[in-house]
Amino acid sequence: MRLDLFSKAKLVHLATQRLDHIGGAGVLILSLGLAAVSLGIADAAVQRGFSAPLSAEGVQLAPVAAPAAPSSPPAADPDPGPAWIGRDIDGDGAPDFANPTGEPTRGHDAFGDGFFHARRDGGSRPHEGVDYDARPGQPVAAPISGYVSHIGYAYPGDARFKYVEIENPALRLQARVFYVDPQVAVGDSVALGHPIGTAHSLQARYRGITEHVHLELAEGARKIDAQTMILARNGGAGVMTGMN
């Protein structure tokens, strides 16, 4: 096949050299014949898989960029959930208590401790509530749902320090939140965790004390420890009660 192709090509070349000796119709006939021979050469080359060598001179190959590796979005941190969890005592699957400030319980300072039944007045009486750290002016939330049954004064004759009392007859619960500037009125319905006022500074009466609100809870006539109803979430390790 290779010899056949070269023979046909040589024939075309020789015929071209003789065009000057042929005129008129002879040129036309010879041209048609040459075209047919050329097509035959090309067709044979295609059928046999032959191709003319390509010169690399002057050919510039564009660089092909490697495909970019797919970028995966950064993994989102798992939601740790609320820092404080209220117990569900009626079995409806929803909490029945809330931390009034969202802060830890008051630790030890020059005036004592903030946990339930801590010593007061030299041990003559127990602390009947739990103190939760607070920043003066921050919102204070309702620790239970119900209605505002009373707004009173923490100390007789001192109108600076008030408390808000909330009752929930269905659960037989009562809550008193002390050292609050109320933003509710007697008779108002309140939802668990909704604002009832703002925290009031205690420095005018107890200079140097840790700022806090004082929470008293009662079930019927019995005072109960708020730390057994408002639980602190210990990071990702589950739920734990505060230590008294």
In a domain, 56, yes or no: no
- Could you tell me the pLDDT band of residue 10, with boundaries at 50, 70 and 90? low
User: Rounded distance, CA 110 to CA 197, Å?
Assistant: 27
In 3-state terms, what secondary structure has residue 20?
Answer: helix
Q: Tell me: the pLDDT tens digits for 94-103?
A: 999 999 999 9
**Backbone φ and ψ of 65, nearest 5°:** -75, 140
In a domain, 186, yes or no: yes
C-beta separation of 188 from 165 below 8 A: no
- Residue 9 domain boundaries: 2-48
Instruction: Average the pLDDT over each of 124-133, 150-159, 197-206 and give the range with the smallest value.
Output: 124-133
- Could you tell me the pLDDT band of residue 244, with boundaries at 50, 70 and 90? very low
Residue 231 β-bridge partners: 85
Q: Are residues 89 and 43 in the same domain?
A: no
Residue of 204 and 28 predicted with greater confidence: 204
Q: Which of 94, 172, 181, 97 is nearest to 142 (CA)?
A: 97
Domain count, the chain: 2
Q: Tell me: the pLDDT tens digits for 166-195?
A: 999 999 999 999 999 999 999 999 999 999
Residue of 65 and 120 predicted with greater confidence: 120
Task: Find which of 46-60, 62-76, 81-95 is predicted with most confidence, using mean pLDDT.
Answer: 81-95
In a domain, 70, yes or no: no
Q: What is the reported pLDDT for 51?
A: 45
User: Rounded distance, CA 146 to CA 170, Å?
Assistant: 9
Q: Are residues 194 and 113 in the same domain?
A: yes
In a domain, 61, yes or no: no
